């Protein structure tokens, strides 16, 4: 299917959803709850099939990782919407200026209409369900473009959605990058994209033709900083857990680590010990994930070749074999104090390669972070609360964890989103509901009001009242 054919096909789907929305522009809570319940059952009743499909797409993805990083947070996101959705959709009363009393004002959240969601390959379930739960709670209809890099999961979800939802409620679109480009060019009422910064620019450009509002969840180089005096073993434990989940194929994975100069060697050794403790069988460990496909595997091998050519010290963290070309499995590697010119220091790594760099003062670490593009996440390890708060105020990041990695994304009460090159907009929980609603301001005039005093022809009392109002 070429791009024009794809555009016509999905444009027909969009028009069907938009027509259905026009007939029922403000679904009541019972309708929204039913859609969310069907979505919850879709996930809960098919956990094994979902695990199988994602495992097949990756050529080896541990089932427990799919449970921990996809099934559990997806169900939590739906349950949060079910618990809070009725409350979120109620009108929200706001204060009225004393000069306009006894008028009333409120905010009425209303559905925007049809939401487009472009899903990446690295967490195909969670990065579908997370935004979709918010879209459905807000009363919208949704079209999903799933990644061509996860064909088994995409086919499964397309079938499961078709069994439980009409195409006017949720439609799943599959296909190549050309289909994705055509999808992004549709005149949605809101478009949410998760993926790389490079592709995010193209999505935003396509959406701009229709002035489609966009939420962009991108990536970038998220740093972990170990503050002076913080236990290196504790830091290495949490940093390696965050880095090696899904073999580093996580948009908020620690992308590089800054450690005090005198702790550099100790951190590398503790990182090696932690990697071997988590995956004692090394590359053959069933709990270790494969790289999703040969293209990304070769990209990562290229990063290592570039580091080798530059004379950078590489520390392999597993015992035994460190790569398997046929199965595209790659063991974790630390790059010790690499130069900024290295490819791995210029691009988001998205794999089990971890640059570790020394610094002399906390101010130097913060300056290093701020010299890079604004990251999606910051992980600051510190026993000094004041210094940690100082670091948060000095850096401009999408989200942060103190003495932890990744877990801010699992908190439904926290907004998730980037800043600048790492994204724009937020979702999760009520934040997703509000993102995919039009928060309509409403002012209701009282029968008795003083507006006649300010209508032409303007009398002297109008000017005297204005002078009084400006002073009070």
How many other CB atoms are there within 10 angstroms of residue 86's CB atom? Answer: 14
- Whether 43 and 74 have beta carbons less than 8 Å apart is answered as yes
Helix pair 151-164, 47-58: axis angle to 10 deg = 150
Buried residues in 160-173 as b, exposed as e (16+ CB within 10 A): bbeeebebbbbbbb
Say whether 401 is catalytic. no
How many other CB atoms are there within 10 angstroms of residue 402's CB atom? Answer: 16
CA nearest neighbour of 428 among 439, 417, 420: 417
Rounded to whole angstroms, the Cα distance separating 376 from 251 reads 8
- Whether 82 and 39 have beta carbons less than 8 Å apart is answered as no
The H-assigned helical ranges of 320-452 are: 343-346, 362-371, 385-394, 429-435
Rg, C-alpha atoms of the chain: 25
> Among residues 251, 289, 348, 401, which one is catalytic?
251
Beta strand ranges found along 243-352 (DSSP E): 256-260, 313-316, 323-324, 329-330, 333-336
Rounded to whole angstroms, the Cα distance separating 23 from 15 reads 12
> Among residues 217, 289, 348, 401, which one is catalytic?
217
What is the enclosing helix (H) or strand (E) of 199?
helix 197-208
Rounded to whole angstroms, the Cα distance separating 235 from 166 reads 48
Say whether 217 is catalytic. yes
* Sheet with 104-111, side-by-side order of all strands: 92-94, 104-111, 437-444
- Whether 57 and 151 have beta carbons less than 8 Å apart is answered as yes
CA nearest neighbour of 423 among 289, 285, 252: 252
Rounded to whole angstroms, the Cα distance separating 217 from 192 reads 8
Give the 3-state DSSP-derived string for 121-137, with helices as H, strands as E and coil as C.
CCCCCHHHHHHHHHHHH
CA nearest neighbour of 165 among 179, 144, 183: 144
Give SS3 for 142.
strand
What is the enclosing helix (H) or strand (E) of 247?
none
Rounded to whole angstroms, the Cα distance separating 375 from 212 reads 25
Active site residues: 217, 251
């Amino acid at each position: 299917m070429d791009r024009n054919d794809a555009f016509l096909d999905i444009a027909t789907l969009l028009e069907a959803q938009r027509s259905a929305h026009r007939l029922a522009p403000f679904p009541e809570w019972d309708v929204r709850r039913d859609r969310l319940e069907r979505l919850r059952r879709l996930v809960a009743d098919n956990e094994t099939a979902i695990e199988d499909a994602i495992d097949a797409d990756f050529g080896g993805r541990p089932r427990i990782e799919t449970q921990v990083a996809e099934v559990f947070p997806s169900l939590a996101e739906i349950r949060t919407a079910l618990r809070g959705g009725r409350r979120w959709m109620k009108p929200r009363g706001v204060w009225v200026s004393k000069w306009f009393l006894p008028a009333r004002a409120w905010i009425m959240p209303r559905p925007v209409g049809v939401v487009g969601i472009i899903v990446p390959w690295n967490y195909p379930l969670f990065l579908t369900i997370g935004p979709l739960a918010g879209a459905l709670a807000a009363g919208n209809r949704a079209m999903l473009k799933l990644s061509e890099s996860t064909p088994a999961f995409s086919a499964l979800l397309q079938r499961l959605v078709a069994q439980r939802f009409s195409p006017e409620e949720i439609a799943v679109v599959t296909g190549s990058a050309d289909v994705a480009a055509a999808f992004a060019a549709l005149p949605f009422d809101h478009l949410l994209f998760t993926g790389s910064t490079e592709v995010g620019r193209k999505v935003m450009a396509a959406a701009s033709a229709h002035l489609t509002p966009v939420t962009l969840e991108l990536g970038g180089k998220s740093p972990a900083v170990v503050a002076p005096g913080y236990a290196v073993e504790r830091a290495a434990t949490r940093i390696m857990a965050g880095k090696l989940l899904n073999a580093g194929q996580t948009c908020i994975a620690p992308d590089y680590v800054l450690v005090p100069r005198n702790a550099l060697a100790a951190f590398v050794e503790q990182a090696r010990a932690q990697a071997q403790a988590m995956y004692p069988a090394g590359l053959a460990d069933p709990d270790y994930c494969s790289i999703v496909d040969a293209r990304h595997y070769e990209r990562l091998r290229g990063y290592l070749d570039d580091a080798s050519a530059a004379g950078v010290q590489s520390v392999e963290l597993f015992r035994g074999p460190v790569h398997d070309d046929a199965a595209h499995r790659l063991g974790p590697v630390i790059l010790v104090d690499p130069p900024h010119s290295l490819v791995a220091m210029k691009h988001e790594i998205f794999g089990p390669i971890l640059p570790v760099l020394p610094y002399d003062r906390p101010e130097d670490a913060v300056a290093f972070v701020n010299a890079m593009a604004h990251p999606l996440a910051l992980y600051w390890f510190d026993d000094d609360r004041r210094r940690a708060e100082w670091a948060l105020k000095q850096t401009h990041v999408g989200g942060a964890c103190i003495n932890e990695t990744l877990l801010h994304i699992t908190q439904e009460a926290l907004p998730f989103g980037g800043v600048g090159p790492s994204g724009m907009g937020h979702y999760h929980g009520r934040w997703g509901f509000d993102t995919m609603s039009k928060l309509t301001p409403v002012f209701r005039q009282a029968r008795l009001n003083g507006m006649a005093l300010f209508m032409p022809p303007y009398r002297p009392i109008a000017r005297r009242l204005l002078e009084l109002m400006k002073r009070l």
